[in-house]
Amino acid sequence: MVKMGMICLRRGFGSIVKKFNRRFKKEGFFYLVVLWRVFVNYIVRFFRNDTFVFQNKRYKYFYDAYNHTWANERAIEIPIILGELRKSKVQFLEIGNVLGHYVDIPHEVIDKYDVSPGVINDDAATFQSKNKNSLIISISTLEHVGIDEEPKEQDKINLAIQNIIRNLKEGGKSIITVPIGYNCCLDKLIEEGKLFSHRLFFKRRLFNVWKQCDWEDVKASKFSEDARGLAILYIEK
């Protein structure tokens, strides 16, 4: 039995080594940097404060193996959105298939590229809901609109936000989270602020600790694999 266990252990370790070698050959030093960042953030999570403050209320950081949330902006995006959903208590539409990877809450999802059960493959800039929505959410999705598509359309993010407004009921609300520094056209819209009822911001510090801040503190943030600055954008119709 012990011998069989050792054989299984060696095979498992061998499989990990093979996967590492494949990724390292493909991505080189960059892959080592990613692994190191994930490892450091994972270890530190056990020693740091496990809560952050948003709008004078304390939330727990959200940790999940999917997408290594302890090492990126998902750690605060998910609890903030879940908190808003608890307050709203209405059926909602999500742009981008994100929330369903973490919690089981029945809702309609629109995602142009994610071919998954229950996901409507439609474009954020052109979709039309059968009925107007009381609440539309989006978690780190809209920054990709127009710049991670072919053909590239820099102004498409403006069209997508206008379309979200069109698909809201009178009195409806949209809550959108996006990283700063990924989409310069979106950053410009955020800075102008005309499309949003109000804007809130977070800045990332060492070991994925997030602090609420002002636009001036994050406007120069650069995106590098994950966010250094995060915007929480509200639209009220």
Residues 198 and 123 in one domain: yes
Residues 116 and 141 in one domain: yes
Say which DSSP state 212 is in.
E
pLDDT digits (tens, 9 = 90+) for 171-220: 999 999 999 999 999 999 999 999 999 999 999 998 889 999 999 999 99
Cis check: omega of the bond before 151, within 30 degrees of 0: yes
Single-letter amino acid code for the residue at 141: T
Q: Which pLDDT score is estimated for 207?
A: 80
Residues 184 and 225 in one domain: yes
Whole-Å CA distances, 15 to 27, 38, 67, 160, 204: 18, 20, 21, 44, 35
Residues 93 and 154 in one domain: yes
208: left (phi > 0), else alpha (psi -120 to 50), else beta? left
Residues 230 and 140 in one domain: yes
Look up the domain containing 35 and give its range.
1-44
DSSP line for 115-151: --TTEE---TTT---SS-EEEEEEES-GGGTTTSSSS
Number of domains in the chain: 2
Residues 32 and 132 in one domain: no
Residues 8 and 86 in one domain: no
Residues 58 and 131 in one domain: yes
Residues 56 and 79 in one domain: yes
Query: What CATH number is given to the structural domain containing 78?
Result: 3.40.50
Residues 97 and 9 in one domain: no
Residue 175: closest CA among 121, 95, 110, 107: 95
Q: What is the mean pLDDT of the chain?
A: 87
Q: Which pLDDT score is estimated for 11?
A: 45
pLDDT digits (tens, 9 = 90+) for 38-66: 666 666 656 567 899 999 999 999 999 89
